[in-house]
A and B are shown apart, each in its own frame.
Chain A
Amino acid sequence: MSKIADNINPHVYEKNSEREVTSTELDEDMEDEFDEREIYDLIRNINDPEHPLTLEDLRVVEESNIVVNNKENTVDVTFTPTIPHCSMATLIGLSIRVQLLRALPSRFKVTVRVTEGSHASEHAVNKQLADKERVAAALENNNLVQIINQCVAG
């Protein structure tokens, strides 16, 4: 994209440490349930659409903003756009949704939302991201899928 970024000089945060693999996780006989850290690892390296930085670098996604409920098969992610007028918010949310749709078993219901109070059009962005018909239609748009794939490639 050749347009000037919405947020020209975003704050870049320090990366989190890599996940520590515990002995129970290495034990093939133990059943590992999905947890917040695992979801975080799936989305932290998604690229920002405007900057050569990841969603982790910009603190758009944080482990503490992820809730996994294995019993109810739900994954709820909230993300925080770098500025309240970010025009890329829907695209970022869509990239997170696509990555989780592809990576998680189909039994999971994934909800992706903007962190409360972090965006001027919070309600409109959330409604758009929650509408699976519009998401399905968006994912039939090759140009858009290409952009999302570039973001997700990490």
Chain B
Amino acid sequence: MAKLELMQSLNGHKGIVWNVSWHPLGKIFASCGEDKIIKLWSNECQEYTTKTVLVDGHQRTIREVAWSPCGNFLASASFDATTAIWDKKSGQFECNATLEGHENEVKSVAWSPSGQLLATCGRDKSVWVWEVAGEDEYECESVLNAHNQDVKKVVWHPTLDILASASYDNTVKMYKEDPADNDWTCIATLISHESTVWSLAFDKTGERLATCSDDRTVKIWKEYKPDNQEGVMVVDRDSVWKCVCTLSGFHTRCIYDIAWCHKTGLLATACGDDIIRIFKEAEDSDPNAPTFELICTKLDAHSQDVNCVKWNPTGNQELLSCSDNGEIKLWKFTE
């Protein structure tokens, strides 16, 4: 019987904890929230404790934190309209660059797999792509105004420089750089959700995407490349993404986050009904109409909304979650 076992409950933030992020090596994580601070937690003597607190980087709520793939940089997105980049070059964590340009709240930040690009998005409906131009230097490559509402989340493809964004306008969009003129363009719009899309996660191949929404459903999208065997029409040589599965009836309130483990293939969701749910793809699942089964429901995972779930990148089945009530929890999943 699959179960999610609580390993540790971590308190240390005041107010909403919006996001947690594992360091790529899976032994440290960062957390952030309403109290405008970032905490770095590391595992010592079988327990996570706060080693470092990053203060004075932001004037308002810190909505998301993200480690660079090399693990040397931490980016933080804030309602104060800026994104800060922190590193440890001097021996301790310091903010050595601030990315400015968004008109108001920055909602999300993500590093590309190469670590050479960063994406940010926000309330001003735009998605920005930044290039790491040198030591502590970041240049804006592109400002993408494809969405017509608040952009909630940006996530990079696991291996390619393809960016996906989720919005209050109910859609997901994808972007890539056109090699002809080095300009970033929207290459796909994924339409099916009936309300705000809060988060999204690629599987390890990057050929599938899971999205979660205020419409209380999770959707699985599959990429159909040009000249695909299934005969799905592709125009302009850009892949087409089709919704191949909708998980409805499982969540009773808004779904704020989704995590797709690249090692185990398990899907975890964070929901406004305080529950963490784990889904697994059925063994005889048809690639063009996959079946996902709910294998674990952790009732009252938190006493308030669950805002974020993150699988440990090492694939050890550890899951982090955080909530409106200031709590962070570390879970161990066993099947």
Contacts and interface: CB of A to CB of B under 8 A. Distances in A.
Interface string A112-144: 000000000000000100111110110010000
Contact of A133 (B104, B107, B253): B107
Contacts of A132: 272, 305, 324
Given A127-B196, A134-B150, A140-B60, A109 B303 contact: no
B60 A107 contact: no
A109 B253 contact: yes
Nearest to B303: A107
Interface residues of B, number: 24
B147 interface: no
Contacts of A109: 253, 272
B239 to A, nearest CB: 30
Contacts of B214: 127, 130-131
Interface in B144-163: 150, 152
Nearest to B15: A136
Interface string B61-88: 1010000000000000001000000000
B317 interface: no
A134 B63 CA distance: 12
A106 interface: yes
Contact of A136 (B16, B104, B168, B195): B16
Nearest to A74: B253
Contact of A140 (B79, B152, B196, B305): B79
A109 B324 CA distance: 12
A136 B253 CA distance: 18
Contacts, number: 37
Interface residues of A, number: 12
B195 to A, nearest CB: 7
A128 B123 CA distance: 12
B325 interface: yes
A107 B303 CA distance: 7
Given A109-B253, A127-B195, A131-B196, A137 B303 contact: no
Contacts of A133: 63, 107, 152
B105 interface: yes
B304 A136 contact: no
A57 B152 CA distance: 39
Interface in B283-300: none
Nearest to B273: A109
B13 to A, nearest CB: 14
A14 to B, nearest CB: 37
A137 B79 contact: yes
Contacts of A131: 168, 196, 214
A54 B168 CA distance: 33
Nearest to A128: B168
Q: Which residue, A109, A132, A136, has most C-beta atoms of chain B within 10 A?
A: A136
Closest 3 pairs between A and B when the two form their complex, measured CB to CB: A137-B105, A137-B79, A140-B60
Given A132-B305, A134-B150, A137-B104, 4 more contacts: A130-B214, A131-B214, A133-B152, A137-B79
Interface of A: 106-107, 109, 127, 130-134, 136-137, 140
6 contacts: A131-B196, A131-B214, A132-B272, A133-B63, A134-B150, A137-B61
